[in-house]
């Protein structure tokens, strides 16, 4: 098993509001997470950093997440804690009002695989060179697509495509979608929308399926996104169950 992550400010933004991590606890369980922050006065940078920092620290302090039901409760607990920390920070720092962050995570143990998501950062599994999206975007346009008011093609370039219906730190209580995923996969891939807005899924698949090293694959995805415009911060986290 091999894993790595990379984040880049892109070509347009003057600072990076994304945060990303991959951590392993004493039981060999692995937590991957990507957060895409939002808010002025570096608010997004602070929000994503607080969320990822708290979640990573809590996971590392846990010897094992236990069985699947315990793990789901654990995920909900640490995400709720991060949300309270963000909400508290905003109340204590009024200039950061409106600050928040997306969050996508994957928790892999020897027995099960769980994904969690708030917002529009994406989680995929990799099987035989193909990416399969597990998470569902909490965006206005995705709601409109589901209701039949927009086609998926219209949603891609909709002027309000970045309007989130759910984010960490936006309210005192937050609901994270949890997905129970089969473990017979070749890899796990998480990213912020700075990647998926620049590259089509087949372009990402082509890079991940190449003979480059894992780090070179992530570097190439960042480079290709920046070559396409790099209009947002770009973050990627990738785990290969069988290293090439």
| pLDDT per residue as tens digits for the range 118-172 | 999 999 999 999 999 999 998 888 888 888 888 777 777 777 777 888 999 988 8
Residue 108 CA from chain centroid, whole number: 15
Q: How far is CA 223 from CA 2, 9, 29, 215, 219, in A?
A: 21, 11, 31, 12, 6
Burial class for 236, CB neighbours closer than 10 Å (0-12, 13-18, 19+): buried
For the chain, give every domain's residue range: 2-135+165-240
Determine the Cα–Cα distance for residues 99 and 42; give it in Å rounded to an integer: 9
Flag whether pLDDT at 11 surpasses 70: yes
pLDDT tens-digit series, residues 193-229: 999 999 999 999 999 999 999 999 999 999 999 999 9
DSSP state of 120: S
| pLDDT tens digits for range 30-87 | 999 999 999 865 789 999 999 999 999 999 999 999 999 999 999 999 999 999 999 9
Separation between Cα atoms, residue 123 and residue 105, nearest integer Å: 7
**pLDDT value at position 46?**
94
Does domain 2-135+165-240 fall under CATH 3.60.40.10? My reply is yes
> pTM higher than 0.75, yes or no?
yes
Q: Are 70 and 63 in contact (CB under 8 A)?
A: no
């Amino acid at each position: 098993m091999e894993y790595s992550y990379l984040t880049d400010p892109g070509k347009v933004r003057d600072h990076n509001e994304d945060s990303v991590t991959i951590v392993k606890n004493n039981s060999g369980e692995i937590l991957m997470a990507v957060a895409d922050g939002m808010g002025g006065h570096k608010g997004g940078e602070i929000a994503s950093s607080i969320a990822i920092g708290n979640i990573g620290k809590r996971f590392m302090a846990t010897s094992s997440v236990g069985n699947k039901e315990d793990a789901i409760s654990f995920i909900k607990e640490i995400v709720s804690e991060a949300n309270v920390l963000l909400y508290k920070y905003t109340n204590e720092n009024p200039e950061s009002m409106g600050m928040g962050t997306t969050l996508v995570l994957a928790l892999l143990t020897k027995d099960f695989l769980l994904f969690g998501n708030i917002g529009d950062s994406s989680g995929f599994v990799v099987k035989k060179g193909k990416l399969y999206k597990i998470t569902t975007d909490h965006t206005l346009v995705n709601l409109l697509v589901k209701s039949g008011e927009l086609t998926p093609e219209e949603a891609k370039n909709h002027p309000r495509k970045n309007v989130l219906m759910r984010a960490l730190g936006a309210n005192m209580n937050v609901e994270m979608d949890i997905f129970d995923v089969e473990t017979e996969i070749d890899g796990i891939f998480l990213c912020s929308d700075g990647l998926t807005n620049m590259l089509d899924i087949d372009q990402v698949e082509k890079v991940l399926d190449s003979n480059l090293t894992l780090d070179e694959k992530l570097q190439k995805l960042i480079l290709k996104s920046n070559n396409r415009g790099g209009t947002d911060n770009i973050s990627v986290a990738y785990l290969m169950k069988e290293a090439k």
